[in-house]
Structures are given as C-alpha cells and as structure tokens.
Amino acid sequence: MKFGDVVMAVASIAVVFALIFAPLDLVFVSALGLELGYDVSNIVALFLSALIGGYIFAGKIWEARREAITKIAVLWGALMEVFALIVPASLAHWGLWIVEAYKGEYGATLSTYEWVKWEMMLQDIVVFMAVGMALVFGFVGLYIGSMLRRPAKKGK
C-alpha cells in the first residue's frame, strides 16, 4: 500500500468519523445521558469509521494486510493526537473542569505553575486515551471491515 493510499484511507476515515459523530451523539446522549452517552458515541464512531474505512479500502488492504492496517491505524492515531491536543483550546470550560477535578479530589489550591503542570498532565491523559482508542478501534475496525469485503478467489 502506497503512502498516498494510506493518507486517503485516513482522510476517508476522518470524514466518515466527522459525519457520524454528531448524529451518534444525539442518539446516545438522549438515551444514556450526557457523560456516558458522549463517551459511548465516541467509541462507536471510532469503530464504525474504521470499519467503513476498512470496507472501502479492502482491496488495497488485502495486498499487504498487516502492514496496511498498521500504517492506516498509526496515521489515524496521529491525527487523533492532533485533535486531542487542539480541542481543549477551543473549549471554554476546559480550565474550569480541570480546576473542579483537582479541588474535588484534593481540595487544595495550587500555584500558577502547579496549575499549568496539572492541566498538562490531564491533557496528556486525554491524548493517551484518544490515541489508544483510535489505535485499538482502528485496528479492529479496519480488520473487520476488510474481512467483510474479501477479494474474490481466483479460479482453480
């Protein structure tokens, strides 16, 4: 699988993810509540987007199965890392959530330097979870998706 094919597969997975994440949010948040529903919709969207990507690019994936799935999943994980690093900057309540999480757990106040380190640590955790989920669901979804569209066996 050429690098251009890998990039196109990851771009397709990202587009599918973007198109299905919001509708899944609406479904799961209304059924399960805000906190659990959002997490479930994220997991389902990661899996389904990789599954659809695996189905679409099954022909290319079958050429070099393990290598292709690994390349696509790793690049997908890298893209999710960028998302996980950028998204907190766009959320007005990210800092408030960080402060509440610390004060609720430990009840103490921190210096400005310590707050920065606490925020960085929590962002590291968010990035770790985003990349970990992208890799796991990417591998599984790509594998299953490519299995759903096996190439036709050649004649005897």
Residue 155 — pLDDT band, cuts 50, 70, 90? low
Average pLDDT (140-149) is 92
- Chain segment 15-62, per-residue pLDDT in tens: 999 999 999 999 999 999 998 999 999 999 999 999 999 999 998 888
Question: Could you report the per-residue pLDDT of 97-109, keeping only the tens digit for each?
Answer: 888 888 877 777 8
Query: Domain spans of the chain?
Result: 3-148
**pLDDT for res 55:** 94
Per-range mean pLDDT, top range of 31-35, 87-91, 149-153: 31-35
Q: What angle do CA 43, 40, 145 make, to 5 degrees?
A: 35
Taking the CA atoms of residue 112, residue 117, residue 119 and residue 120 in that order, the dihedral angle to the nearest 10 degrees is 140
